[in-house]
Amino acid sequence: MSTEKNKLTTSWGAPVGDNQNSITAGARGPTLIQDVHLLEKLAHFNRERVPERVVHAKGAGAHGYFEVTQDLTKYTKASLFAEVGKRTPLFVRFSTVAGENGSADTVRDPRGFAVKFYTDEGNYDLVGNNTPVFFIRDAIKFPDFIHTQKRHPQTHLKNPNAVWDFWSLSPESLHQVTILMSDRGIPATLRHMHGFGSHTFKWVNSEGVGVWVKYHFKTEQGVKNLSPDVAAQLAADNPDYHTEDLFNAIAQGDFPAWKLCVQIMPLEDANTYRFDPFDVTKVWSQKDYPLIEVGRMVLDRNPDNYFAEVEQATFSPGTLVPGIDVSPDKMLQGRLFAYGDAHRYRVGANHQALPINRPRSEVNTYQRDGQMRSDDNGGSSVYYEPNSFGGPKESPDSKIAPFEVSGSADSVGYDHHDHYTQPGDLYRLLSEDERTRLVQTIVGAMKPVESDEIKQRQIGHFYKADPEYGIRIAEGLGLSVPE
């Protein structure tokens, strides 16, 4: 006998009489359309999927907290960083970039590193990667770039011709390509990698004074990577290896943690620094702007439900709080549009009201209605602004810190075209063994490219970063370094 508590019901709450046999006209007759429980079950099942993320579709998430370890309130008024010892709950989602929702975890790809801080002044999302730079530096190139990482429209296969054609024609990608092809391209687990905000952001203090800031999450587990052979074996044996590792570690009480550090640059330095500090293909020298520790992130709770918490989580670089603002980084600016738009399409106009996305602080907007409005929709409270009925009002002290703009409106690139110094420095920093593995990986990845012209164009970029780098890859491919 079922008790009241475990009584199976329909989605409208009525007890279900039979969940094993559909209603038929006689034992051998056709199924009756009046079996609405059956119809509802089949129809709901057909709607179980929401569109997967167009990038970063495969991911794993966990809950945790952030604790401030150093007072940086002279740089930001963000309540998240208000005092040493303050804890803020958060949710993290790690992901691969190019693969589909069911693709293997242990592939060579950057890893997404998205953090949602539930601060007491609204949510703050830091939607970064496990690398400090990116392949391109203007949002206008993003759809083309991602097309090259996805499947060919005819064969539905991954296409190395497109990958290397695009990279060789976009030399700003060289730094990220070098990182991706290095040992760090395949992390051992999601716990054994650093995280980066990658872009330059702006912090503003309570006096309205701003600084430029870059974020670094340093793994306390140490950086560990997989060799391509082990990674390939794991991709075959256990495509969910990283997902499983994260879940098991947390379930066993082995909570992964990262130190959060920042680099701080005075606003005026951006005018004189040796390259454009808003260019996301470059790192700031840590000699010029040393890392300053600000806190610690700990992941200590697994999601109860993957779909509700991980799939429906919506992170956006535009989800900002007072004290944290954006920079003129041309990639970041484009991302401010792309994510909210993706969320409204993928999850719906009211995605922010879902439990995983809902701020823990009070939400008082004049937004009403829309599909799947699942809260009280503002009840009978005043639904427009300004009003004479005591509705929520703006807080002038939360306005953005004003900044100057100048120049003519135009399609202009960054004026700094040295795509080679930083990847070359990185190459020169590697040990001989690391260089050998880097070259082997690149040669292996470029071999299937059909066009020698593409290969030679790319070899030219490696050569410009460091002649040895270019020569070794040319040799591996049986080609010469171009003039």
Residues annotated as catalytic (active site), given as ranges: 56, 129
* Coil/strand/helix, residue 124: strand
Which one, 129 or 441, has the nearer CB to ligand HEM?
Answer: 129
275 is an interface residue for ligand HEM by CB under 6 A: no
Q: Decide if 374 contacts 349 (C-beta within 8 A).
A: no
* Amino acid making up residue 349: A
Closest CB 111 distance from ligand HEM, rounded Å: 8
In whole angstroms, the minimum distance from the beta carbon of 82 to ligand HEM comes to 26
Question: Is residue 369 helix, strand or coil?
Answer: coil
Contact between 452 and 479 under an 8 Å Cβ cutoff? The reply is yes
Residue 426: C-alpha distances to residues 132, 189, 218 (Å): 13, 23, 19
Question: Which of 261-269, 331-339, 353-361, 457-465 is the region at the interface with ligand HEM (rule: CB under 6 A)?
Answer: 331-339
The yes or no reply on residue 114 touching ligand HEM (CB under 6 A) is yes
Whether residue 143 has a cis bond before it, omega within 30° of 0: no
The reply on whether position 460 binds ligand HEM by CB under 6 A is no
- 310, 116 in Cβ contact below 8 A? no
Least distance (Å) from ligand HEM to the CB of residue 393? 31
- Which residue spans within 82-148 are E strands per DSSP? 87-96, 111-119, 122-129
195-196 and 210-219 beta bridge pairing: antiparallel
Question: Which of 94, 95, 69 lies closest to 83, judged by CA?
Answer: 69
Q: Does 246 bind ligand HEM (CB under 6 A)?
A: no
Does residue 168 bind ligand HEM (CB under 6 A)? no
What is the number of the residue whose Cβ is closest to ligand HEM?
A: 112
Is residue 190 a contact point for ligand HEM (CB under 6 A)?
Answer: no
Which strand (E) or helix (H) includes residue 258?
A: strand 257-266
Nearer to ligand HEM, 82 or 174 (CB): 174
What is the distance between the alpha carbons of residues 255 and 299, in angstroms, rounded to a whole number? 6
Q: Give whole-number Cα distances, 427 to 19, 144, 172, 222, in Å.
A: 63, 27, 16, 21
Among 119, 312, 314, 352, binds ligand HEM (CB under 6 A): 314
By CB under 6 A, tell whether 331 contacts ligand HEM.
yes
Q: By CB under 6 A, is residue 54 in contact with ligand HEM?
A: yes
Identified binder of ligand HEM from the candidate list 318, 328, 334, 482, rule CB under 6 A: 334
Question: Smallest distance from the beta carbon of 411 to ligand HEM, in angstroms?
Answer: 15
Rg for the chain (alpha carbons), in Å?
25
Considering only 112, 171, 256, 323, the residue that binds ligand HEM (CB under 6 A) is 112
Helix 421-429 / helix 174-181 crossing angle, nearest 10 deg: 20
Tokens standing for 331? Answer: 């990639």
Which member of 128, 171, 256, 322 binds ligand HEM (CB under 6 A)? 128
**DSSP code of 284?**
P
Query: CA-CA distance, 450 to 19, in Å (whole number)?
Result: 57
Residues 340-369 that bind ligand HEM (CB under 6 A): 342-343, 346
Binding mask 191-210 for ligand HEM (x = CB under 6 A): -------x------------
Of 261 and 454, the one with the shorter C-beta distance to ligand HEM is 261
422 vs 456, which CB is nearer to ligand HEM? 422
- Residue 460 class from Cβ within 10 Å (0-12 exposed, 13-18 middle, 19+ buried)? middle
Asked if residue 336 binds ligand HEM (CB under 6 A), the reply is no
Report the residue number, 111 or 437, with the smaller CB distance to ligand HEM: 111
Determine, following the binding rule CB under 6 A, whether residue 133 of this chain makes contact with ligand HEM.
no
Binding mask 57-76 for ligand HEM (x = CB under 6 A): --x-----------------
Q: How far is the CB of 170 from ligand HEM (least distance, A)?
A: 13
Q: What is the DSSP letter of 322?
A: T
- Interacting stretch for ligand HEM, rule CB under 6 A, among 101-109, 208-216, 335-343, 444-452? 335-343
Evaluate whether 118 touches 243 at the Cβ level (below 8 Å).
no
Residues that bind ligand HEM (CB under 6 A): 53-56, 59, 93, 95, 112, 114, 127-129, 134, 139, 142, 198, 280, 313-315, 331, 334-335, 338-339, 342-343, 346
